[in-house]
Amino acid sequence: MSETKEMLEATVKGLQDKIGQLNMDLKSKQQELEDANKPVISNKTMDIINDAINDAIENYNFDNADQYELDFSLDYDGKVQAETINLTDTYELMEAVATKIEKQFKIVEDEPTADQLNTQTVAEKIV
């Protein structure tokens, strides 16, 4: 009886280890699948992008009060305080970051994909 119990416990332990390994393999393959269609860039290119983002944000003028929406409240001492501060004009910040990044690279048009070429061919046949 105790041998059977020990065998079952060993089998359960082995199966749990196998499940753990399979779960790790599954996560690895899911990450590979997720990355399959992503464009590839080098570490050097990523460093250039990060530096451009940092530079754009560090040099951005956050002092323009018209870019913010403020909600005020009174604290317990009767002092007025800014309870929430929301940056409302995020487009300007995004544009500053994008411009800094674009200045770091020579940007070329993408080659048309097979789907785009097929769509263009079908459109030409219709016309």
pLDDT tens per residue, range 42-61: 999 999 999 999 999 888 88
Mean predicted confidence (pLDDT) in 6-11 = 92
* 14-47 pLDDT, tens digit each: 999 999 999 999 999 999 898 888 888 899 999 9
Q: For 1-127, where are the alpha helices, taking DSSP H only?
A: 2-35, 43-58, 90-102, 114-126
Residue 61 is predicted with a pLDDT of 84
Q: What is the pLDDT of residue 121?
A: 60
116 pLDDT tier (thresholds 50, 70, 90): low
pLDDT score recorded for residue 105? 85
Please give the pLDDT value at position 25: 95
Q: Is 81 helix (H, G, I), strand (E, B) or coil?
A: strand
Cα separations in angstroms, 38 against 3, 41, 44: 53, 9, 17
Output the furthest CA–CA distance in the chain (Å, rounded).
82
For residue 92, the model assigns a pLDDT of: 85
Kindly report, residue by residue over 68-112, the tens digit of the pLDDT. 888 889 888 888 988 888 888 788 889 989 999 998 888 888 777
